[in-house]
Amino acid sequence: MVTVKSAAVLGIQAVPIDVEVDIRSGLPGFEIVGMAGLSVKESRERIRSALKNSGFTYPMHKIIVNLAPADLKKTGTLYDLPIAIGILAATGQLPLENLADYLVVGELSLNGELRAIPGLISIAELAQEQGKSLLIPAANSQEAAAACSRVYPVSSLSHAFSFLNNNINIPPIKQAAYVPSVPSGPMGIVKGQQIAKRMLAIAAAGHHHALLVGPPGTGKTLLARSVQSMMPPLSRAEAVEVTKIYSSAGLLPPNSGLITQRPVRMPHHNITKAGLLGGGTNIQPGEVSLASSGVLILDELLEFKSDVLQGLREPLEAKKITIVRANERVTYPTKFLLIATTNACPCGYLGDPYHECRCSHSEIHRYQKKLMGPLLDRIDLFTFLEPLKTEDYYNDHDPSETIPLKSCHPNGLLSDEEVQKIQLSAAVKNLLDKALQRLRLSGRGYYKTIKIAKTIAELDGMSEIQPYHVGEALRYRWEAMNLF
C-alpha cells in the first residue's frame, strides 16, 4: 500500500488527508472509499484517462483508494493528482522515496493536464505548518507561494512524474513582495454632502458601521461605494485571509496571487439568507464573508427581508459566522464594515423640503419599525442627506478629499470593557451625562459615542478626547437625528 499526503479544505481551514492506494489481484476495478462525495468518485474516469493518455500503464487489477480520516466528507476534484501519483507508485512505475515530503493536490483533465483547484492558499498554509513541500497545478502557484516557501508547480501528470522521478529540476516559486493597492473612490463625483462625507471618513478610519438616510437622488449609493477608498490599506495578514475566503469559494481567477484591495460587496435586496450569510449543499461563504476586511453595502436596507436582516446580528457581533450542515461545521470570518442606505419612508420623500411625502403616519411607522431593534442598535453612525442645493453644484472645493488620513485604531471594534478603560476628562464626562439624559442614549449608545469620539480625536491627531469630539460624535447618533 502507498500513502500520498493531501488535504481537504473546510471553510478556509485545511486539514491533512492521507490518500491510501492499494492494488490487489482480482477482477479489474476502481473503488474510492472514506466518505468520498460524488465529485470525488467521478475522478476515477479522469484518472484512468489521464494515466493512459500520458503513456503510463493502467493496472488491470483491483484498485482500492481510501481517503483518511474516514469521518470527514471529501468533495471536489483535488484528489485526482494524489490518487494518480499513488497508483503510479503502487504499481512500481514511480519510486517511493521522495513522496513523503510532499503534499499533493490537483485536478486532472482527460489528457493529463493539471487544472487549478479552489482553496489552495489554505492548503499552502497547512503545508508550511507541517514542513512539507507542495506539488500543485501551475495555475495555483502564485496563491500558494503567498503562504508556503516550498511550492513546486507542475503543468501535467507527466510533468509531476518527471519531477518526482528526479528527471527534471523545478525551482520552488519565490514569494512575490506584498504591495497593497488603494482604489481611488468616486467621492468627488458627489457634490456637496459634506457632513455625510465627513461621517463616512470617520466610519472608514475607525471601523464604525454607518447608515445614510435620505430621499432619492442625494448620492447615497455613490457615497457608500466610496468608503472602500478611505479605509486604511489592506495589511498582509488581512490580504491572506481575504484571499483564503475568495479562493475557497472558487472566486480567485487562475494565476492570481494575494488579493491586495479591500473587497466591496453590494448584494441585491432580493438576496436569500444563505446568499447573505453563507450555506448551500456544498457550503459556500455568503456576502458577509466575501465582504470581510472590506465593505458590505446594503443599499435600500429596508427593502431586504426582515429575517435576512435579523441574520446579520451574529456576524456583526461575533465577526465570524458558523454554518452547520449534517456532518459539517464551517466557520468564516465576517469582519466587514456595514454601510447601509435607506429612504426615510415608503415614498422616499420624508424630510425632503422640495417634495411632499405622501405616506400616512402608520405607513411611515411600519416602514421604520423594520429598522428598529437589534439591527439599528448595531449601527454606529447616522446622517440624513438633504437634496443638493443649486450652489452645491458650483462648489468645487471638497474638504472631505483633503481629510488627512491619519493612522487611526479600529475603535469601532473595541469591547465595552475596553471602552471603560478610556480616560475621559471631567468636561467630556459632563457632556456625555447630559447627552445620556437629553437624548435618552442607551448604554450601548453611550459606549458607541465614546468610540466614535475616540476615532474623531485620533483623526485630529490627539490622544485625548475633547468635548468637541463628543459633540461631533453625537451629531451622527440616531437619537440626535430628530428624524421621525
Binding site for Zn ion (CB under 5 A): 345, 347, 350, 357, 359
Q: What share of the chain is helix, strand, coil (3-state, %, to 5)?
A: 40, 20, 40
- 127 vs 357, beta carbon nearer Zn ion: 357
Among 145, 460, 34, which residue's Cα sits nearest to residue 136? 145
Closer to Zn ion at the Cβ: 259 or 357?
A: 357
Other C-beta atoms within 10 Å of 370: how many? Answer: 17
Smallest distance, Å, CB 298 to Zn ion? 20
CB of 214 to Zn ion, least distance (A): 12
Question: Which parts of 276-388 are beta strand (E)?
Answer: 278-279, 284-285, 295-298, 320-325, 328-333, 337-342, 381-384
178: Cβ contacts below 8 Å, ≥ 6 apart: 146, 236, 239, 258, 260
Q: How far is the CB of 354 from Zn ion (least distance, A)?
A: 13
CB nearer to Zn ion: pick between 366 and 406: 366
Task: Rank residues 204 and 357 by Cβ distance to Zn ion and give the closer one.
Answer: 357
- The DSSP letter of residue 346 is S
CB nearer to Zn ion: pick between 364 and 422: 364
Using CA atoms, how far apart are residues 381 and 449, in angstroms rounded to an integer?
9
Distance in Å, CB of 306 to Zn ion, minimum: 20
Query: Among residues 187 and 350, whose Cβ is nearest to Zn ion?
Result: 350
Other beta carbons within 10 angstroms of residue 158's beta carbon come to 17
**CB-nearer residue toward Zn ion: 164 or 345:** 345
Contacts of 438 (CB under 8 A, 6+ apart): none
How far apart are alpha carbons 431 and 447 in whole angstroms?
A: 13
Kindly state the smallest distance separating residue 352's Cβ from Zn ion, in Å.
Answer: 9
Relative to beta strand 114-115, strand 102-104 is: unpaired
Q: In the structure grid, which three cell numbers stand for residue 375, read together?
A: 439591527
How many C-beta atoms surround the C-beta of residue 347 within 10 A? 18
Question: Closest Cα partner for 240 from 423, 25, 34, 12?
Answer: 12
Q: How far is the CB of 451 from Zn ion (least distance, A)?
A: 33
In terms of Cα–Cα distance, which of 465, 385, 473, 458 is closest to 421?
A: 465
Least separation in angstroms between residue 483's CB and Zn ion is 12
- How far CA 151 is from CA of 18, 52, 103, 136, in Å, comes to 19, 27, 10, 7
Pick from 379, 373, 386: nearest CA to 344 = 386
Instruction: Tell the smallest beta-carbon distance from residue 318 to Zn ion (Å).
Output: 36
Q: Reduce the secondary structure of 225-267 to three states and give it as a string.
A: HCHHHHCCCCCHHHHHHHHHHHHHCCCCCCCCCCCCCCCEECC
> 125 or 352, CB closer to Zn ion?
352
| Residue 345 C-beta: closest distance to Zn ion, Å | 3
In whole angstroms, give the CA distance from residue 316 to residue 374. 11
Q: What's the CA gap between 468 and 428, in Å, rounded?
A: 9
Minimum CB distance to Zn ion smaller for 169 or for 362: 362
Nearest residue (CB) to Zn ion, 446 versus 484 = 484
Region for 210 from its dihedrals, namely left if φ exceeds 0, alpha if ψ lies in -120 to 50, beta otherwise: beta
Min dist CB 366 to Zn ion, Å, is 12
289 vs 343 by CB, closer to Zn ion: 343
d(CA 10, CA 82): 19
Residue 380 grid cell: 454606529
Nearer to Zn ion, 165 or 360 (CB): 360
Q: Quote the least distance from Cβ 350 to Zn ion, whole Å.
A: 5
In the bound complex, what is the minimum distance in angstroms from residue 270's beta carbon to Zn ion? 23
